[in-house]
Amino acid sequence: MVRIVHTMIRVLDLDRSAAFYRTALGLELRRKLEFDDFSLAYLGNDESEVELELTLNHGRTEPYTHGSGYGHIAVTVDDIETTHARIRDAGFAAGDIVELKNGGTLVGRFFFMNDPDGYEIEVIQRHGDYR
Amino acid sequence: MVRIVHTMIRVLDLDRSAAFYRTALGLELRRKLEFDDFSLAYLGNDESEVELELTLNHGRTEPYTHGSGYGHIAVTVDDIETTHARIRDAGFAAGDIVELKNGGTLVGRFFFMNDPDGYEIEVIQRHGDYR
């Protein structure tokens, strides 16, 4: 049986990305692999079985483009108001907290933010199917 | 503490994508939410805490574009040769199995394939840090 183990995104600056994910979301750099042409960094925490894989292509300076297809990674938190305030207080841009309802039933409360390379991150209040 | 719960991609045909992920990777449709303008489908299995979220924007027919930034989701398998043969026998295109080494040490054995919307998927032999 397969196991989903990571999502990979390409970034321009590993230190910048690692600092962002650690400060904003508490995802730590767990290991790093250096190759001639690229480096791989794996971010995670004890709550998550899956990791975020960051690829750094050495010498790349041109920003990566974001097509219309890929959306985001999503994380859940225990207290979205506290997390939202903490993230804004730390100086990161974050959208407002919004609610998604389906036929009057609350599906989720969440906000979006962007990482240093412009990838979207959804932060969701732990509730219902979002555990 | 945050938990990474899903990766979201936009697809043109939920049934087509669900069939692909079920047949090729054994990821099942767990739940589906219908809204006026879009639908959300969540794929997963008992081995994975994280899910793949598929967004269907109603009425969209234009293929989504893939920028240069987003890479892939990765899954691990117990026996990559068997999985690779099964996937090719089922008629799906899959790249050859390749090895990645780092200073003579095997990092991973894997192959790539694409889902119906062109998103890359990495299938990795369970080994070392890829559990």
Mean pLDDT of B28-49: 96
HEC letters along chain B:
CCEEEEEEEEECCHHHHHHHHHHHHCCEEEEEEECCCEEEEEEECCCCCCEEEEEEECCCCCCCCCCCCEEEEEEEECCHHHHHHHHHHCCCCECCCEEEEECCEEEEEEEEEECCCCCEEEEEECECCEC
- Chain B closest CA to A94's CA: distance in Å? 16
* CA–CA separation, A51 and B50 (whole Å): 10
Mean pLDDT of A90-102: 96
Q: Which residue bears the tokens 């990795």?
A: B124
* CA–CA separation, A63 and A99 (whole Å): 32
| Per-residue pLDDT, B107 | 94
User: Is A53 exposed, middle or buried, given 0-12, 13-18 or 19+ CB atoms closer than 10 A?
Assistant: buried
* CA–CA separation, B111 and B101 (whole Å): 14
Q: Which residues does chain B have within 8 Å of residue A67's beta carbon, measured at their own beta carbons?
A: 64-67, 70
Interchain CB distance below 8 Å, B102 and A34: yes
| Per-residue pLDDT, A98 | 98
| Per-residue pLDDT, A108 | 95
Work out the mean pLDDT of chain B and round it to a whole number.
97
| Per-residue pLDDT, B21 | 98
Interchain CB distance below 8 Å, A5 and B124: yes
Domains of chain B and CATH, by start: 1-59 (3.10.180.10), 71-131 (3.10.180.10)
Q: Which residues does chain A have within 8 Å of residue B60's beta carbon, measured at their own beta carbons?
A: none
| Per-residue pLDDT, B47 | 93
DSSP state of A126: S
Interchain CB distance below 8 Å, A67 and B72: no
| Per-residue pLDDT, B86 | 97
* CA–CA separation, B124 and B131 (whole Å): 9
Query: Could you report the predicted ipTM of this complex, rounded to two decimals?
Result: 0.97
Exactly one of B34, B47, B99, B122 is catalytic; name it.
Answer: B122
Q: Judge whether A46 and B1 are in contact, CB under 8 Å.
A: yes
Q: pLDDT per residue over B40-66, tens digit each?
A: 999 999 999 999 999 999 999 999 999
| Per-residue pLDDT, B122 | 98
| Per-residue pLDDT, A72 | 98
Q: pLDDT per residue over A43-86, tens digit each?
A: 999 999 999 999 999 999 999 999 999 999 999 999 999 999 99
Of B4, B46, B118, the CB nearest to A50: B4
Q: Which residues does chain B have within 8 Å of residue A122's beta carbon, measured at their own beta carbons?
A: 8
| Per-residue pLDDT, B82 | 97
* CA–CA separation, B56 and B91 (whole Å): 25
Mean pLDDT of A86-93: 96
